[in-house]
Every structure is written in structure tokens, then in C-alpha cells.
């Protein structure tokens, strides 16, 4: 019998039947495979997860409740990033962006997984790729085991060392530029018989820039002793506005406060929260080249205090908003990014967060979320 592509028994049909047979065998084999995974998870006290190549869970071993506090049914349909700490999630995304074949390689990672109670636990993730008989990537297999408690301090120390390295690289870059300018202008002044006031003014500005960087860094060098007490956030906010009213008046900028009538009680370190608010209002003032209005609101919402600071400045491009808070990243010509990084760190210490919305040519709003006092 001749087989050709036009007959009903053509190669296209044979290939389709063969593919269907492979899919049936794959389905049958993985039904048995799930049973084996169940046994292995109990034997080795590890959480075992199968997901699609897009990361969507389609099998979770039943011991998930004892490891993360979730029933396995609750985890089906979710992605691994749903359970990762924000910093680890960012690390995974960066690895994936750098290497398009990241998920096609076996990997072993140490990351923080979020339990149902909101706490994070250090875990070892072994990532394996499951392939069909044609060696095409079919699914991802996650083998998850809790990291021994004794290793946690070392992991946190590694995080600190990574931050120090990042800061050191940034400091070298940020200070080198003004030092180069200072050296250049001093050499020019040596070659001229008379004093040049313009050169001196530039040197003075560059020295101020170095001083600004070192002052910001002193915040990280000092011991971080937080003094948590009960405070009305409205009172803290008003004192911050008072401090900056003079600067706002000079720039012909009005600060409008719109707040709820009742007190907004939070449990916080008053001085640290002042630093955050002053820094954000100061940034808003500096973003506005023309006279205008800064609107500050404070509300209660679902167990949180929500403080918003809206300016009428130049705005921030969407692709740069996510970089805010990184050391030495700034949208200001004379900024160094450390002030905003300090704000993000303080909010993390207070179990709060900062969110940003911005539109080019319209303005920017910073939202500060703090848990309300119980």
C-alpha cells in the first residue's frame, strides 16, 4: 500500500496518532509518577511540586500543610513566585531575564518561602526539568526542603555582605566624580595668577555633594536601636509639614493636608517615621520646578493607615518606578538614592511598605502603608 500525505493514512495522520499515543502514555506514566512522588515526599520529609513550564502548579504533595501550612488543594494553580519573599522573587526574575533558558536547566537555590501564617522560612529548592520521550521540556519538578535553623544567620549575613558590596561599589562611583572635578579645578587655579571665584564655587558644591553622601551613609553605620511607642500619625505628619513650610514658601508651593478627623494610632519609632515623611515631602518639593500644590492625605483602610503625598512635578517613567529604593538610583540630577533606600528599609522594619504611582508631566504619588495599632 502506498502511503502519501493526501491519503487518510498519510504521514500527517500517522504522526498525529503517534503523538496522541505519546500523550496517553505520558498521562498514564505521570499518574503513576504522582504516587511515587507522594511516597518520596513522606520518606524524605520534602515538599514535592510539579508545575507546567510556565510555573503553574498541577501537583503538590499532601505534606504541604506540615511544611508551609497550606493544604495541597490551595496551592494548585498557583506559581512558585506567589510563595517567595519579594527580594527572592526579584532575584529569580533577574536570573530568568539574564538567561532565557533558565527554567530548562537543573538548579539548586536557597530562598525564603512564605508560610500560611505570613512568616518566611529559609528553604532549599532543587529544580529539575521533566522531559517527554522526544526530550522536549514538559514540566518542572520542585523538591523543597526546609533549611536547617543554624544556617539562617549565615544566609542573613550573606544578604548583608551583598548589600555592603553594592554600597561600596556605588560609593566609589559617586565620590570619584566630584573628587575628579575638585582635583581638576585645583590644578586650573594653580596655573592662574588670580583667584577664580567661579572655580571655588564649583569646588564648594562638589564638597557638599561628598558630604551629603557620607551623611546619608552614617545612618547605616549607626546601631539601629528602634524605640517603638504608640503615636498618632497625624501629629507626626503635622510636625514634619511644619519643618518644611519654609522651603515650600520659598518655592511658592502650597502644602494641603486632607486627613480624617479621628486620631490615627500606630506603633512605631517616631523619629524613623519622621525621617520617611520628611524625605518624601522633600523629594516632592524638589521635583517641582514651578509653583504648585502638594497634597497630603491620611486615611484608615482595612487595618492600615494610608498616607499619600502627591506632587505636581515632572513625574517618573514607568520603567524606572520599580528601581526606586535601590542604592544610588535616583531621578534627581543632584541626588544619590540613599535617602529613598533608607525610607524603604525603615518601612520594612515597621512591617509597612511604600508604593508609587507616577505619570510623566503630571506628577507622582507616594503611598506609605503602616499597620494600625491593635
Helix (H, G, I), strand (E, B) or coil at 99: coil
Single out the residue of 355, 369, 359 nearest to residue 322, CA to CA: 355
Is there a contact between 41 and 63 (Cβ–Cβ < 8 Å)? yes
**Average pLDDT of the chain?**
76
Question: Mean pLDDT, to the nearest integer, of 103-116?
Answer: 77
For the four alpha carbons of 281, 284, 286 and 291, in that order, the dihedral sign comes to negative
All three cell numbers of 330: 535616583
Tell whether the model's pLDDT for residue 320 goes beyond 90: no
**pLDDT given at position 180:** 75
Helix (H, G, I), strand (E, B) or coil at 211: helix
pTM comes to 0.45
Question: Mean pLDDT, to the nearest integer, of 104-116?
Answer: 79
Which of 55-69, 94-108, 292-306 bottoms out in mean pLDDT, i.e. has the lowest? 94-108
Question: Mean pLDDT, to the nearest integer, of 355-366?
Answer: 90
More confident residue, 136 or 51: 51
Angstrom distance (rounded) from CA 329 to CA 233 = 29
Is there a contact between 351 and 373 (Cβ–Cβ < 8 Å)? no
Helix (H, G, I), strand (E, B) or coil at 366: strand
Contacts of 332 (CB under 8 A, 6+ apart): 283, 286, 287
More confident residue, 255 or 96: 255
All three cell numbers of 367: 503611598
Going by pLDDT thresholds of 50, 70 and 90, the confidence category of residue 17 is: very low
- For 302, left (φ over 0), alpha (ψ -120 to 50), or beta? left
Beta strand spans in 206-248 (E):
228-232
Q: β-strand 304-310 against 265-269: which pairing, if any?
A: unpaired
**pLDDT given at position 158:** 53
Tell whether the model's pLDDT for residue 96 goes beyond 70: no
**pLDDT given at position 1:** 40
The per-residue pLDDT for range 186-230, each reduced to its tens digit, is: 877 788 777 777 778 878 877 876 776 666 555 545 545 678 889
| Torsions phi, psi for 188 (to 5 deg) | -65, -40
Residue 87 CA, chain-centre distance (Å), reads: 5
Single out the residue of 241, 265, 243 nearest to residue 255, CA to CA: 241
Tell whether the model's pLDDT for residue 145 goes beyond 90: no
- Write the burial class of residue 371 (CB in 10 Å: 0-12 exposed, 13-18 middle, 19+ buried): middle
Amino acid at each position: 500500500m502506498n502511503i502519501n500525505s493526501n491519503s487518510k493514512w498519510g504521514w500527517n495522520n500517522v504522526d498525529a496518532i503517534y503523538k496522541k499515543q505519546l500523550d496517553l502514555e505520558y498521562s498514564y506514566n505521570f499518574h503513576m509518577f504522582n504516587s511515587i512522588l507522594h511516597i518520596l515526599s513522606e520518606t524524605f520529609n520534602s515538599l514535592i511540586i510539579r508545575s507546567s513550564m510556565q510555573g503553574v502548579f498541577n501537583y503538590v504533595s499532601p505534606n504541604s500543610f506540615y511544611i508551609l501550612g497550606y493544604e495541597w488543594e490551595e496551592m494548585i494553580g498557583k506559581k512558585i513566585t506567589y510563595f517567595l519573599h519579594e527580594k527572592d522573587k526579584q532575584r529569580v526574575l533577574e536570573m530568568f531575564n539574564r538567561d532565557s533558558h533558565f527554567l530548562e536547566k537543573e538548579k539548586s537555590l536557597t530562598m525564603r518561602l512564605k508560610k500560611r501564617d505570613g512568616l518566611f522560612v529559609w528553604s532549599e529548592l532543587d529544580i529539575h526539568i521533566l522531559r517527554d520521550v522526544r526530550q522536549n521540556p514538559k514540566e518542572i519538578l520542585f523538591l523543597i526542603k526546609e533549611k536547617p535553623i543554624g544556617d539562617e544567620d549565615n544566609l542573613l549575613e550573606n544578604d548583608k555582605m551583598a548589600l555592603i558590596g553594592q554600597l561600596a561599589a556605588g560609593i566609589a562611583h559617586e565620590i570619584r566624580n566630584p573628587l575628579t572635578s575638585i582635583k581638576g579645578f585645583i590644578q586650573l587655579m594653580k596655573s592662574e595668577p588670580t583667584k577664580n571665584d567661579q572655580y571655588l564655587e564649583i569646588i564648594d558644591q562638589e564638597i557638599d555633594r561628598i558630604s551629603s553622601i557620607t551623611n546619608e551613609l552614617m545612618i547605616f553605620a549607626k546601631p539601629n536601636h528602634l524605640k517603638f511607642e504608640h503615636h498618632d500619625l497625624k501629629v507626626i505628619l503635622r510636625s514634619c509639614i511644619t519643618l518644611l513650610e519654609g522651603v515650600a514658601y520659598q518655592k511658592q508651593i502650597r502644602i494641603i493636608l486632607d486627613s480624617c478627623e479621628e486620631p490615627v494610632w500606630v506603633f512605631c519609632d517616631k523619629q524613623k517615621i519622621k525621617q520617611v515623611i520628611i524625605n518624601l515631602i522633600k523629594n516632592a518639593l524638589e521635583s517641582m520646578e514651578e509653583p504648585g500644590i502638594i497634597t497630603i492625605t491620611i486615611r484608615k483602610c482595612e487595618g492600615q493607615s494610608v498616607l499619600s503625598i502627591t506632587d505636581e512635578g515632572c513625574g517618573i517613567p514607568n520603567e524606572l518606578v520599580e528601581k526606586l529604593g535601590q542604592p544610588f538610583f535616583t531621578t534627581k540630577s543632584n541626588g544619590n538614592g540613599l535617602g529613598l533606600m533608607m525610607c524603604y528599609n525603615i518601612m520594612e522594619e515597621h512591617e509597612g511598605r511604600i508604593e508609587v504611582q507616577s505619570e510623566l508631566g503630571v506628577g507622582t504619588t507616594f503611598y506609605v502603608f503602616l499597620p494600625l495599632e491593635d
